[in-house]
Amino acid sequence: MRKLKYWIRRNFGFSQGEVNGFLVLIGAMVLLTAAPLLFKWVTKSDPTSTDSSPSDKQLLDSLVAQLEAKQPEPTGRGQVYQLPVTLQPFNPNNLTEAQWQELGMPKYMVKRILNFRNKVGDFTYKAQLGTIYGLPDSVFQKLYPYIQLPETKPDRYSRNQGIAGSPRTAPNPNWTSNPRPRERFILAPFNINSADTTALKQIRGIGSKLSARIVKYRDGLGGFHSMAQVQEVFGLPPAVVDSLQKYTFVPKAYTLQQLSLNQANADQLKAHPYISSNVARAIVAYREQHGAFTSVEDIKRIKIIDQEIYQKVKPYLIL
């Protein structure tokens, strides 16, 4: 081995460490090359191999078939609902999991209904059951006449009004050719700069996390001066942005919370979402070297503030 290492060092100009690494690499390559052949030989010589034991293979196939048979029913389209031949009046707020299954609901749909009751609260009117995701219209229409709940929710719901996220049309028990008019939730546009999380959660697709994120970003800015700014909130899906622009607005007379260029320190400046740490320090340094700013436009003299940054931050700055 010493002679081999000496020969490699003399002919290739390797150091001692490089020679050791070279030998290890060669050894690994040899093992990787021989591994398939060795594995094939061991497999053939192993009496427990699946190739030499057809009975074991049949046993494994049987176990796989049993496991597949125990898999839960698919939750997508095509799920079979086996409703009772004779339906009885029922209150969806009182049924247990077992009673829902007796009514013909598959397990996954029962879980969705119970989760809705746990998170949103009891059903308050018939058509609300139809809003459960994945519940077929045909099944809902069969259940509708037997639901022991009011037809409508008069205070917040009315007929022939439209917004996104309205409940499904409630079928008339005496339906023949004309379906019952759709009941929809009425949401009047509101001021996004004064809205709290409760108001924002009225919009479909906005929950506790997104509403808190919108309020936090808005307050960090000092208020929105344009509805286009809602797109800057992290994690908002395009559909939610569209809904915000539809159901909220920025009032023309709204006064933004502004930072004083001549009084704010670097920490106060960099707390604004549009002002980075470098820009904040540059503003303070320029003010200390050249004196107080005479106009907001003076910050354009700072090299790292380009036109894009200036246009974004300008509404939030005063002298």
Q: CA–CA separation, 168 vs 155, rounded Å? A: 18
- Written as six digits, the tokens of 319 are 């002298």
Residue 309 and residue 274 in contact, taking contact as beta carbons nearer than 8 Å: yes
280: phi > 0 → left, psi -120 to 50 → alpha, else beta; which? alpha
What is the reported pLDDT for 50?
47
Mean pLDDT, the chain, whole residue set: 78
Please determine, for residue 127, whether its predicted confidence score (pLDDT) is greater than 90: no
Q: Annotate the chain with DSSP letters as a single string.
A: -HHHHHHHHHHH---HHHHHHHHHHHHHHHHHHHHHHHHHHHHHH-TT-TTT-HHHHHHHHHHHHHHHHTSPPP-STT------SS---B-TTT--HHHHHHTT--HHHHHHHHHHHHHT-S--SGGGGGGSTT--HHHHHHHGGGB-S-S--TTTEEET---TTPPPPPPPTT-SSSPPPPEEE----EETTT--HHHHTTSTT--HHHHHHHHHHHHHHTS-SSGGGGGGSTT--HHHHHHHHHHEE--TTPPPP-EETTT--HHHHHTSTT--HHHHHHHHHHHHHH-S-SSGGGGGGSTT--HHHHHHHGGGEE-
Q: What are phi and psi of 139, to 5 degrees?
A: -70, -45
Domain range summary for the chain, segments of one domain joined by + = 1-25, 97-185, 190-249, 259-318
Place of tokens 């006064």: 255
In tens, the pLDDT along 34-91 reads 877 776 675 555 555 544 456 666 666 666 665 554 444 444 444 567 777 788 888 9
The fold of the 259-318 domain, in CATH, is DNA polymerase; domain 1 (1.10.150)
Q: Which residues contact 270 (CB under 8 A, 6 or more apart)?
A: 276, 277, 279, 280
190-249 CATH, one of 1.10.10, 1.10.3470, 1.10.150, 1.10.3300: 1.10.150
In tens, the pLDDT along 140-179 reads 888 888 888 887 765 554 444 444 444 555 555 554 445 5
Please determine, for residue 10, whether its predicted confidence score (pLDDT) is greater than 80: no
Place of tokens 């099944």: 139
What is the reported pLDDT for 214?
93
Q: Which residues contact 308 (CB under 8 A, 6 or more apart)?
A: none
Please determine, for residue 113, whether its predicted confidence score (pLDDT) is greater than 70: yes
Same topology, domains 190-249 and 259-318? Answer is: yes
What is the reported pLDDT for 188?
81
Q: Please classify residue 235 by burial: count the beta carbons closer than 10 Å to its beta carbon, then call 0-12 exposed, 13-18 middle and 19+ buried.
A: exposed
- pTM of the complete model beyond 0.75: no
- Tell me the percentage of the chain whose pLDDT exceeds 90: 11
